Chain A
Amino acid sequence: MAWRQPIVATMALLSLCGGAAAQAPSKVFKIGFLIASPWDSRFFEPAITRAFADRGYILGTNLAFDIKAASGKLELLPALADELVADHVDLIMTRGYPSAVAAKERAAAVPVVVSGSGDPVATHLVMSLARPGANLTGVSEIAADLSAKRLQILKEAIPSLRTVAVLWNADDLAMTLRYNSSRDEATKLGVAIQPLGVHAPNDFAVAFAAMVRDPPDAIMMLTDALTILNRKRVVDFAAEHRIPAIFEGDSLVREGGLMSYGPDGAALLNRAVGLADRVLKGASPADLPLELPTKFVFAINLKAAKALGLDLPESIVLRADQVVE
């Protein structure tokens, strides 16, 4: 299983022999990560390590990560959840709806902090935001609503918009809900949707072929493990065929995507770690309400716009929180 990267931090053990052991608290908190996508050691790991450090948890001293990444193979998630339970982690943090479901179903005795799982109430991951119940809390993204918002932004950026290709992982319930939301909004805006549900990496070629056959005015990609894994192909395809695209996270805009609108990932991550901190200090996840994002980031890539020959209206530029030039 060479694709798996279970990086278990063992520095905690080393610190027992070193001088650092003197000031380090005796308890080492073991955080299990159950992630559908590959582990992002470039951006995600430093960010979450910093968020934990802000609350007094130092990786390698009183904090250890037990990382289980399915790298897009969603069917592996239940088994990975079982492994985390067997590893006696203090807490499981999930990213993505499928991993949240796997953690909820397979690790009922372990507290779970979810993030990146769409609308947890709509997907019945929790009973309500205020009282999640069970062993699960975390941050919600109200992302279902935002699909409609993105479509509206696309329409505002490209007033001549007629058809939008929506690319999403059809195996992910949270993503499907988002697709449904954007389809409803499209009807109101008088825009046709070209549904491009994918199930596996190979499906992208099929989707691209469909878009070549019937070119849309814009692409909207919904973010989950599968699409993130193939983002580069989508961004390149859009650039190659001069199709404006809108994404959820601003990182894709920095990687060449035209626009993105979504909750501030760093702020959400910080809140998720805040909840993890509360749980590690003894709070029951069932008592910790899920938190909704308060900050949203609208990012545009003016370079990409120029390449597309697109003249973005002033109201769009005015909205932008991040501009790549």
Chain B
Amino acid sequence: MEQTRPRRPLFQKYFVILFGAVIVPLIVSGASDAWFGFRDQSALVSNMLGVEARAAAEEIKSFLDGIVDQLGWTVQLPWSEGSEERHKYDLLRLMRQAPAIVDLIQVDGAGIEKMHLSRVAPDVVDSRIDRSNEDSVLGAVGSRVWYGPVTLHEGSEPYMTIAVAGSRVSAGVTIATVNLKLILEVMAGIRVGRSGDAFVVDRPGHLVAHPDISLVLRGVDDGTRATLQAMRIAALGAGGEAIATTDIQHRSVLVAVAPIAGPDWTVFAEDPIEEALAPIRAALWRTGFFLLSGGLFAAGLAYLLAYRLVVPIRKLEEGAKRIGAGQFDHKIAIATGDELEQLADRFNVMAGELALSQERSERIARLKRFLAPQVAELVERSGEESLLDGQRVEVVVVFCDLRGFTAFASSAGAEETMNVLRQYYAALGAIITQFEATLTNLAGDGLMMLMNAPVARADCAFAAVRMAAEMQQQVQALIVGWRRQGHTIGFGMGLAKGVATVGRIGYEGRLDYTAIGSVVNLASRLCGEARDAQILIDPAAAHEVATGVPLKSLGSRGIKGFGDEIEIHAVEWKEAATDDK
């Protein structure tokens, strides 16, 4: 068997399956962990930002409410002759209390300015400026508290006007200019995440307060205002959920908003996405690490297991190959203690049995050189190879050859010659096998056969004569065909019975079984004497078969090598054959 790589090697399969069995659940659990972790963290951050935005809005609202409350104290007294002093003291006290107020204007019930105090500008008393049509006065009279728009003082600092009206019209209105930079002190206490910000934007999109005061003081350009507007609308539309967006500092952030009702501001609480999702990133790294180490472990384990499984199988394959090649002494050494070891043991046992079987078949093949197959098997099975040892026994020797074959062979082509011999031996071989004769010699067209050796049989002469008759019958039938092709070929046989020395002769690997003795010479001479279609037998054989086979005496003849004349009989084989039928 040629050693080729299998199309789908077992090692690969086992490795993939074992590796997959470990890594797939790992990946599934890691991925689901990461996904749910991401969702939980997003929800958590969103929630936190929402809470922080609302808390900041609450604080800023209470900062503004504090100012409004204090302004409320200044509009309790109605304006009347001589009340200026008390009003002024109220206002001065208020400015002491509320450092964010830079400027205070008080108007009477008719909207006429009575007093204007400032931290920066000189105070003005009783200027009598008519402010009754100003938005602040109208707004405050209409809804008690009025918040003005955010204005940038000197293009930088954010200021806002708050006007508060008294419950009685005659108490007038107090209009305060508030420096919104002081909200910074409120904002400073608000922390969003680790590096997040909370900041405040008014409705037109101006930055009102930001932990980075520089951003507020620098003012926002139209592009930034549009960005802030868009963020505000998107975040308000998200219904309390945080949204992911890009802020004015071009950071990717999660942002939640909360409105501040009075001045219509919006508080933004934003946290850089990077930081907000830092715990997730940590978890992802952790998962990744576990996946990697799990993967490595799984790969190692799978490799080891697949290796442990495949190595014995490779040994089995190698062993099978060697045994197949005839190396029966090969032992497959597997000590895994499992089915594979049992299988290897089976292989080893099989190799031993194969060795025995091959030895036997070789022996049979050797015997079949001169014994009929069934006799050979019989001899082999009995194990009595001593049968083949030299001994003197009474045998019947049969000779046969073709007449005129030498002349035919020298004139005919090799193919034709071989063709004739093939038909001849096919016919004779079948008959030898049938009669269990021992073929001792085969030379060209001549054959020598024995009966009663090495295997004894009771009626050996009868059997030999009948075999000869059968041979004549078969060969003569062939000869009819050969003659039709123009070949003049005949077939004669001789047969004698007597004691001969039989046994194996030859040397290692080239052993023949043969008979030696005068009976062999006699049979050979008789065969030589025989004409075409004649079977000549000696007196000993004739005496034995006379009762069962029609014989015809040809009288006594002198045979070369034999002193006395010997009476020769021809077997009337045509009649004998008919009898058999």
Residues in A with CB closer than 8 Å to B88 are: 315
In angstroms, Cα B88 to Cα A69, docked, is 45
Judge whether A20 is part of the interface by a CB distance below 8 angstroms.
Answer: no
Judge whether B96 is part of the interface by a CB distance below 8 angstroms.
Answer: yes
In angstroms, Cα B119 to Cα A321, docked, is 12
- Provide the A291-325 mask, 1 if CB < 8 A to any CB of B, else 0: 11011100000000000000000110011010000
User: Shortest Cβ distance from A259 into chain B, in angstroms?
Assistant: 15
Q: Which of A103-111, A128-136, A214-222 contacts B (4 or more CB under 8 A)?
A: A128-136
Q: Which of A30-38, A146-154, A234-242 contacts B (4 or more CB under 8 A)?
A: A146-154
B217 to A129, Cβ gap below 8 A? yes
- Provide the A111-124 mask, 1 if CB < 8 A to any CB of B, else 0: 00000000001000
If the complex has contacts A287-B214, A287-B218, are A128 and B92 also in contact, measured as CB distance less than 8 A? Answer: no
Residues in A with CB closer than 8 Å to B213 are: 291
Nearest residue in A to B122 (C-beta to C-beta)?
Answer: A152
A121 to B154, Cβ gap below 8 A? yes
- Provide the B374-396 mask, 1 if CB < 8 A to any CB of A, else 0: 00000000000000000000000
Judge whether B118 is part of the interface by a CB distance below 8 angstroms.
Answer: yes
Partner of A128, one of B95, B96, B155: B155
Judge whether B120 is part of the interface by a CB distance below 8 angstroms.
Answer: yes
- Provide the B72-115 mask, 1 if CB < 8 A to any CB of A, else 0: 00000000000000001100110110011000000000000000
- Provide the B207-246 mask, 1 if CB < 8 A to any CB of A, else 0: 0000001100111000000000000000000000000000
In angstroms, Cα B92 to Cα A289, docked, is 31
Residues in B with CB closer than 8 Å to A148 are: 121-122
In angstroms, Cα B219 to Cα A273, docked, is 22
User: Shortest Cβ distance from A243 into chain B, in angstroms?
Assistant: 21
A145 to B120, Cβ gap below 8 A? yes
Judge whether B182 is part of the interface by a CB distance below 8 angstroms.
Answer: yes
Partner of B92, one of A288, A295, A319: A319
Judge whether B322 is part of the interface by a CB distance below 8 angstroms.
Answer: no
- Chain A: residues with Cβ within 8 Å of the partner, total of 32
A318 to B92, Cβ gap below 8 A? yes
A294 to B214, Cβ gap below 8 A? no
Residues in B with CB closer than 8 Å to A131 are: 218
In angstroms, Cα B418 to Cα A146, docked, is 144
Judge whether A185 is part of the interface by a CB distance below 8 angstroms.
Answer: yes
Q: Which of A142, A292, A321 has the most B CB atoms < 10 Å from its CB? A: A292
Nearest residue in B to A142 (C-beta to C-beta)?
Answer: B120
In angstroms, Cα B213 to Cα A287, docked, is 12
User: Shortest Cβ distance from A245 into chain B, in angstroms?
Assistant: 19
B89 to A314, Cβ gap below 8 A? yes
Judge whether B157 is part of the interface by a CB distance below 8 angstroms.
Answer: yes
A129 to B156, Cβ gap below 8 A? yes
Residues in A131-183 with C-beta less than 8 Å from chain B: 131, 142, 145-146, 148-149, 151-152, 156
> Chain B, interface size: which category?
20 to 34
User: Shortest Cβ distance from A299 into chain B, in angstroms?
Assistant: 14
Nearest residue in A to B214 (C-beta to C-beta)?
Answer: A288
B123 to A152, Cβ gap below 8 A? yes
In angstroms, Cα B182 to Cα A142, docked, is 17
Q: Which of B118, B155, B214 has the most A CB atoms < 10 Å from its CB? A: B214
In angstroms, Cα B157 to Cα A132, docked, is 14
Residues in A with CB closer than 8 Å to B93 are: 318
Nearest residue in B to A121 (C-beta to C-beta)?
Answer: B154
Judge whether A198 is part of the interface by a CB distance below 8 angstroms.
Answer: no
Residues in B with CB closer than 8 Å to A129 are: 154-157, 217
Residues in B with CB closer than 8 Å to A152 are: 122-123
In angstroms, Cα B99 to Cα A170, docked, is 34
Judge whether B181 is part of the interface by a CB distance below 8 angstroms.
Answer: yes
A315 to B155, Cβ gap below 8 A? no
Partner of B89, one of A145, A156, A318: A318
A130 to B219, Cβ gap below 8 A? yes
User: Shortest Cβ distance from A125 into chain B, in angstroms?
Assistant: 14
If the complex has contacts A130-B218, A287-B218, are A149 and B156 also in contact, measured as CB distance less than 8 A? Answer: no
Judge whether B266 is part of the interface by a CB distance below 8 angstroms.
Answer: no
User: Shortest Cβ distance from A54 into chain B, in angstroms?
Assistant: 13
Judge whether B179 is part of the interface by a CB distance below 8 angstroms.
Answer: yes
In angstroms, Cα B350 to Cα A260, docked, is 120
Residues in A with CB closer than 8 Å to B155 are: 128-130
Judge whether A290 is part of the interface by a CB distance below 8 angstroms.
Answer: yes
Nearest residue in B to A131 (C-beta to C-beta)?
Answer: B218
In angstroms, Cα B272 to Cα A243, docked, is 61
Nearest residue in A to B89 (C-beta to C-beta)?
Answer: A318
In angstroms, Cα B92 to Cα A319, docked, is 6
Residues in B with CB closer than 8 Å to A189 are: 122
Residues in B with CB closer than 8 Å to A292 are: 153-154, 156-157
Judge whether A199 is part of the interface by a CB distance below 8 angstroms.
Answer: no
Judge whether A278 is part of the interface by a CB distance below 8 angstroms.
Answer: yes
User: Shortest Cβ distance from B91 into chain A, in angstroms?
Assistant: 10
If the complex has contacts A129-B156, A149-B118, A318-B92, are A291 and B217 also in contact, measured as CB distance less than 8 A? Answer: yes
Residues in A with CB closer than 8 Å to B181 are: 294
User: Shortest Cβ distance from A284 into chain B, in angstroms?
Assistant: 11
Residues in A with CB closer than 8 Å to B214 are: 278, 283, 287-289
In angstroms, Cα B212 to Cα A287, docked, is 12
User: Shortest Cβ distance from A287 into chain B, in angstroms?
Assistant: 7
Residues in A with CB closer than 8 Å to B118 are: 149
Nearest residue in A to B99 (C-beta to C-beta)?
Answer: A295
Nearest residue in B to A149 (C-beta to C-beta)?
Answer: B122
Residues in B with CB closer than 8 Å to A278 are: 214
In angstroms, Cα B433 to Cα A322, docked, is 146
Nearest residue in B to A148 (C-beta to C-beta)?
Answer: B122
Residues in A with CB closer than 8 Å to B179 are: 294
Residues in A with CB closer than 8 Å to B219 are: 130
In angstroms, Cα B120 to Cα A185, docked, is 13
B89 to A128, Cβ gap below 8 A? no
Partner of B218, one of A151, A156, A289, A318: A289
In angstroms, Cα B93 to Cα A314, docked, is 12
If the complex has contacts A145-B121, A149-B121, are A294 and B99 also in contact, measured as CB distance less than 8 A? Answer: yes
A151 to B122, Cβ gap below 8 A? yes
In angstroms, Cα B155 to Cα A128, docked, is 8
Residues in B with CB closer than 8 Å to A318 are: 89, 92-93, 96
User: Shortest Cβ distance from B159 into chain A, in angstroms?
Assistant: 11
User: Shortest Cβ distance from B222 into chain A, in angstroms?
Assistant: 15
Residues in B with CB closer than 8 Å to A289 are: 156, 214, 217-218
B156 to A128, Cβ gap below 8 A? yes
Residues in B with CB closer than 8 Å to A185 are: 122
In angstroms, Cα B20 to Cα A53, docked, is 60
In angstroms, Cα B154 to Cα A290, docked, is 11
In angstroms, Cα B181 to Cα A129, docked, is 14
In angstroms, Cα B217 to Cα A318, docked, is 32
Residues in A with CB closer than 8 Å to B95 are: 319
Residue pairs across A and B with Cβ atoms less than 8 A apart, 27 shown, are A128-B155, A128-B156, A130-B152, A130-B155, A130-B218, A130-B219, A142-B120, A148-B121, A149-B118, A151-B122, A156-B123, A278-B214, A287-B214, A288-B214, A289-B217, A290-B217, A292-B153, A292-B156, A294-B182, A295-B99, A315-B88, A315-B89, A315-B92, A319-B92, A319-B95, A319-B96, A321-B96
User: Closest 8 CB pairs between A and B?
Assistant: A152-B122, A289-B217, A129-B156, A130-B156, A318-B92, A288-B214, A289-B218, A145-B120
Known: A142-B120, A288-B214, A294-B100; 7 extra A-B contacts, CB below 8 A, are A129-B157, A145-B120, A152-B123, A289-B156, A296-B119, A296-B120, A318-B92
Q: Which residues of B contact A (CB under 8 A)?
A: 88-89, 92-93, 95-96, 99-100, 118-123, 152-157, 179, 181-182, 213-214, 217-219
